A and B are shown apart, each in its own frame.
Chain A
Amino acid sequence: MKADKFFKFFLFLCGLLIIILAGGIFVSLISGSFYAVKSFGLGFVLGKIWDPVSEKFGLLPFLTGTFLTSILAMLISIPFSISIALLLGVYYKDGFFNKILSYTSDLLAGVPSVIYGFWALYFLVPIVRKLEMKFNILPYGVGIFTSSIVLSVMIIPFTSSIAKEVISMVPANLIEGAYSLGATTYDVVKKIIIPYSRSGILAGILLSFGRAFGETMAVTMVIGNSNSMPENLFSLGNTMASLIANEFTEATKDIHLSSLIYVAVWLFLLSFVINYIGNWIIKKLSVDVSK
């Protein structure tokens, strides 16, 4: 009996340790960013200038860069990930093709970010460059557009796997019933599957948006690393994560370092909110379905 009490307490302790870990992370981030918070307050979010020389720091260029690239990536990826989900959940529910496609999709998810970046640098960037030269835009090749493309490829497997799960949860009898009434697969997809799994697909999209949000390596290699506000799609830019990766090891001024940690706080907060909403929707869905 004593052993049980002790063991149960030990299990509890492990859980507590994790909570303390998370708490510690929170505390470290807050204390690290305190100097910047004191100096800039909430105006930091709207600050357009990031200038280590004059010690003026603002989040807006990077907030914009992060949102632009993530939203674009999300939009670009949607048709592709839903297609994969439909293929795996409706047309080829099992069999050889299903195995190949789902395995390939999992592999896509497993490719390390830095390799995506490496590949993008040497194969995507020259293509974008040629495109830019055709349209007489500055042929950087790198920039918001290129980063969005890489990101969209990276997040396709996430959305598609969640969407596939949700699609396969559509009650079989509904689908069978529709078929027996003479519906084509198109009808079934349009009128039953999509409406039924709409919120699940939305959750999947949100979660992959959250993933794109915090992505660092592939982005920092092809975004052009310009700390000013991006003007258009083909501009150079920077994301919050990429900024931190560029400047963290070298910020000599305390205010610079603290501002970078302040950026990290915002990055964390925003991804947390996005992920929370996505997870909440999924949770609600599983509760609904089980009813």
Chain B
Amino acid sequence: MNTKYRIFKDKFLKMLVTFLSLVAILPLILILFQVVKNGISVVNFKFFTQLPPPPGEGYGGIANSLLGTALLIGLAVLLSVPIGVFAGVYLAENKSRFAEFLRIIVNVLQGLPSIVIGIIAYIWVVRPMGGFSALSGGVALAIMMLPIIVKNTEETLKLIPFSLKEASYSLGVNYTRTILKVVVPTGAGGIISGVIIGISRIAGETAPLLFTAFGNPYISVNPAKPIDALPLLIFNYAMSPYENWHKVAWGASFVLIMFVFTLNLMVKVAGEKWKVKF
């Protein structure tokens, strides 16, 4: 075969692949550019402390939805982390058929579309409670976070060599203490990374909040009452015709993206330090 032709194909492939990759990440750059450009003019100290403006007048702030997102994340973590971590421990420690089945179920939960989870939270929490609430939103987000926590915990703990547990047993430590005081703390870094990844995933979720959190134009920290959240605000304001609301939505997008990216960065940087290495 003609060498020149082969070299040409080789160079061409490399160029093509590089070009396509750069085009692929172009939207990200565009999105970031637009979010920063449109959002940064709105974001100042007041933005974090004031309530949203009425249609057409001024920029106000996103205090209520910031607090709302924080509360929702807190509730989701509270509800999903304990069960998720321990279930992950169970999976890392057991190879029974039940464990296999559990693994499949966790995968199923992970594939559940977020809007369906919203319906479930409406049926399980909103209806019986007789109202929308931060709690129902927290439940929906917790269901979304659960598979991430379980899987991550299992992966992390699986990396811990048996020799560590062996050493603990040989010192006379029982199973419970070994797991709680040796294995889990060793894997803590990985587990925490998983929690942070979970948080960054749910922070931007809107669909499950549509029929649970409901929205609230006032500051509220009451889990039993409706609440607003950053992605909800962005959704509502983006689709409105009011210029000032668009600006607020850009500002909120800026804050949300910065938050998610910071979390991602944390996991990447600290993740290396925290990863279980043997």
A-B interaction: yes
Tell me if A84 counts as interface (CB < 8 A to partner B). yes
**What total of chain B residues lie within 8 Å of the partner, measured CB to CB?**
82
Partner among B17, B83, B107, B122 whose Cβ is within 8 Å of the Cβ of A87:
B17
Interface pair A11/B93, CB less than 8 Å apart:
yes
CB-CB nearest in chain B for A20 = B105
B83 partner residues in chain A, CB cutoff 8 A = 14, 17-18
A135 partner residues in chain B, CB cutoff 8 A = none
Residue among B17, B124, B210, B239 facing the most chain A CB atoms (10 A cut-off): B17
Tell me if B113 counts as interface (CB < 8 A to partner A). yes
Tell me if B21 counts as interface (CB < 8 A to partner A). yes
Interface pair A112/B260, CB less than 8 Å apart:
yes
Tell me if A213 counts as interface (CB < 8 A to partner B). yes
Known: A18-B150, A83-B17, A112-B205. Contact between A107 and B264, CB under 8 A?
yes
B179 partner residues in chain A, CB cutoff 8 A = 7
A167-200 vs B: 1/0 string, CB under 8 Å? 0000000000000000011110100000000000
Interface pair A7/B260, CB less than 8 Å apart:
no
A 99-144 contacts with B by CB, 8 A? 101, 103-108, 110-119, 121-123
Residue among B30, B87, B106, B175 facing the most chain A CB atoms (10 A cut-off): B87
**What total of chain A residues lie within 8 Å of the partner, measured CB to CB?**
79
| Cα–Cα distance between A91 and B1 once the two chains are bound (Å) | 24
Partner among B98, B176, B238 whose Cβ is within 8 Å of the Cβ of A3:
B176
A104 partner residues in chain B, CB cutoff 8 A = 25, 28
Interface pair B113/A19, CB less than 8 Å apart:
no
Known: A91-B14, A217-B207, A221-B238. Contact between A14 and B87, CB under 8 A?
yes
Interface pair B107/A267, CB less than 8 Å apart:
no
A39 partner residues in chain B, CB cutoff 8 A = none
A 39-98 contacts with B by CB, 8 A? 79-81, 83-84, 86-87, 91
Tell me if B63 counts as interface (CB < 8 A to partner A). no
Partner among A3, A79, A216 whose Cβ is within 8 Å of the Cβ of B174:
A3
Partner among B86, B98, B253 whose Cβ is within 8 Å of the Cβ of A115:
B253
| Cα–Cα distance between A249 and B22 once the two chains are bound (Å) | 41
A4 partner residues in chain B, CB cutoff 8 A = 174-176
Tell me if B204 counts as interface (CB < 8 A to partner A). yes
Interface pair A248/B90, CB less than 8 Å apart:
no
Known: A15-B98, A80-B21, A118-B234. Contact between A216 and B264, CB under 8 A?
no
| Cα–Cα distance between A213 and B114 once the two chains are bound (Å) | 11
Which applies to chain B's interface (DSSP): helix, strand, loop or mixed?
Answer: helix
CB distance from A97 to the nearest CB of B (A): 9
| Cα–Cα distance between A216 and B109 once the two chains are bound (Å) | 17
Q: Which residues of B come within 8 Å of A, CB atoms? A: 6-7, 9-10, 12-14, 16-21, 23-25, 27-28, 30-31, 34-35, 83, 86-87, 89-91, 93, 98-99, 101-102, 105-116, 118-120, 122-124, 143, 146, 150, 174-176, 179-180, 200, 203-207, 210-211, 231, 234-235, 238-239, 246, 249-250, 253, 256-257, 260-261, 264, 268
Q: Which residues of A come within 8 Å of B, CB atoms? A: 1, 3-4, 6-8, 10-12, 14-15, 17-19, 21-22, 24-25, 28-29, 32, 79-81, 83-84, 86-87, 91, 101, 103-108, 110-119, 121-123, 153, 156, 160, 184-187, 189, 210, 213-217, 221, 241, 244-245, 248-249, 260-261, 264, 267-268, 271-272, 275-276, 279
> 23 A-B residue contacts at CB 8 Å?
A1-B174, A7-B176, A7-B179, A7-B180, A14-B83, A18-B83, A22-B109, A80-B24, A84-B20, A108-B25, A112-B205, A112-B256, A117-B238, A156-B24, A160-B24, A210-B111, A214-B116, A216-B113, A244-B116, A245-B207, A249-B210, A276-B107, A279-B107
Q: Identify 10 new A-B residue pairs, CB closer than 8 A, beyond the known A12-B98, A115-B257.
A: A7-B179, A15-B99, A84-B24, A106-B264, A110-B261, A114-B204, A216-B207, A217-B231, A275-B107, A275-B108
